Amino acid sequence: MRFKRNFIYSITILGLISNVQAGEWSGYIAGELRYFPESPLSIDQYDHFNIAFSAEPEYHHEWDNGYQTFSFVPFIRFDQHDSERSHFDIRELTWLKATRDWELRVGIRKVFWGVTESQHLVDIINQTDLVEHPDTEEKLGQPMINLALIRDWGTVDLFLLPGFRERTFPGKKGRLLSGGIPIDTEQTRYESGAEEKHIDWAMRWEHSLGDWDIGLSHFSGTSRDPRFLPSTTDKTDKFVLIPYYEQIDQTGVDLQITKENTLWKFEMISRDEQEGRFTALTGGFEYTFVGIFETDADVGILTEYLFDDRHNNGATPFENDIMLGMRLTLNDAQSTEFLAGAVLDIESNASFYLLETSRRLGERWKLSLEAYIYGNMPTDDLAYGFRNEDFIQLELAWYF
């Protein structure tokens, strides 16, 4: 029912905007095939193959000599097996007023903070759209009022964030669940009595000083990362996990230093939550060999260290890990790219491997291939529930 209402809402908005003569449309329509070589941990989950289709059109309109802009970016997906993955979201629905020394944005937006490759600790404004992909890169649109003050000594962004977005999770038939245990979002709990109506706020200062790009941020409000409480369903007494969202204060810093062919990257946060304050960081570098073997191709070598001082008590598998990777960019007319990487747990020897590659086909088509492998997961590791969730994903997208 929720998906049906949202779909009708999206069609209504698209119909209204289609009557507007000014502005530009762009975006993509994509088909996706996933293959899981191993059987699921739960008998309710689908086995092996899954097909899905998605679309993300974008509409942008400028006026007032470019000082005002309206943007609308809806997203919709239909999934073969998982009803929770069939969903609609407004990624962006924003009015922008710009001047020389300030900018005001009102509406729904996606805001990205961070510089590291393996995880984005400081990126906290938007909620993760976890039904899309387990890499947590996809985000839900966040209602906000954002005032940016542009000065010679840097840009200060002030955020008022009304309306909390709950994290999306695969349904009982979907894959990529922790150990096949269903997550019951109907029993979601909050620390704040205002629940999802709690008003959060955030601020960020960023500036470039020569080779240095610096960001300092602070967030106060409802955590985007839920804890999970063991419980049972009301009707069948089946064991489930309940998301619990607590109130937090998080201060973060991110740095990127550019030195010839080397990018040094660093993110660190200090977060105060119910169980106390903790610190986490990710740091490393990427070195690029330009024009290897006298060709147009570039090869980048990446390495990062991931640390969380909660150790095994934290709700993260990255408490003492190292990431190794290689990026190959052919710089050809088809924009062919390859990325291979591994995250290795120094203490438990758990490992995670990924391969991502993409290539344009003609002017409007793009073919992408991904492979995710979870290896040697010990029973006490948070990622143990993913031990049977290796998958290969093939996507073909048409851009307009």
CB 57 within 8 A of CB 18: no
Q: Which residues contact 178 (CB under 8 A, 6 or more apart)?
A: 228, 241, 382, 385, 386
Q: Could you give the CA distance from residue 377 to residue 348 in angstroms, rounded to a whole number?
A: 8
Query: Among 363, 379, 367, which Cα is nearest to 312's?
Result: 379
Residue 20 has a pLDDT of 47
Confidence of residue 128 (pLDDT cuts 50, 70, 90): very high
Residue 4 has a pLDDT of 52
With 50 as the cut, is the pLDDT of residue 374 above it?
A: yes
Distance of CA 276 to the CA centre of its chain: 26
Confidence of residue 312 (pLDDT cuts 50, 70, 90): confident
CATH (domain of 238): 2.40.160.10
Structural domains of the chain, count: 1
With 60 as the cut, is the pLDDT of residue 9 above it?
A: no
Residue 376 has a pLDDT of 83
With vertex at residue 133, the alpha carbon angle to CA 173 and CA 169, rounded to the nearest 5 degrees, is 45
With 80 as the cut, is the pLDDT of residue 236 above it?
A: no
Confidence of residue 18 (pLDDT cuts 50, 70, 90): very low
With 90 as the cut, is the pLDDT of residue 154 above it?
A: yes
Query: Among 58, 125, 126, 71, which Cα is nearest to 98's?
Result: 71
CA dihedral 140, 145, 148, 149 (to 10 degrees): -160
What one-character DSSP code corresponds to residue 199?
P
Amino acid at 65: N
With vertex at residue 304, the alpha carbon angle to CA 138 and CA 388, rounded to the nearest 5 degrees, is 55
The mean per-residue pLDDT over the stretch 377-392 comes to 84
Residue 321 has a pLDDT of 96
- Per the model's pLDDT, the better-predicted residue between 382 and 166 turns out to be 166
The mean per-residue pLDDT over the stretch 383-388 comes to 82
Indicate the average pLDDT of the chain. 92
With 90 as the cut, is the pLDDT of residue 347 above it?
A: no
Burial 82-96 (b: 16+ CB within 10 A, else e): bebbbbbbbbbbbeb
The percentage of the chain sitting over the pLDDT mark of 90, rounded to a whole number, equals 79
With 80 as the cut, is the pLDDT of residue 33 above it?
A: yes
Strands (E), 129-238: 142-151, 154-161, 189-190, 200-209, 212-222, 227-232
Q: Which residues contact 253 (CB under 8 A, 6 or more apart)?
A: 122, 214, 215, 216, 217, 266, 267, 268, 269
Q: Report residue 106: phi and psi, to 5°.
A: -130, 130
Confidence of residue 13 (pLDDT cuts 50, 70, 90): low
Among 13-27, 38-52, 239-253, 367-381, where is mean pLDDT lowest? 13-27
The domain in which residue 342 lies consists of 2-399
- Per the model's pLDDT, the better-predicted residue between 13 and 323 turns out to be 323
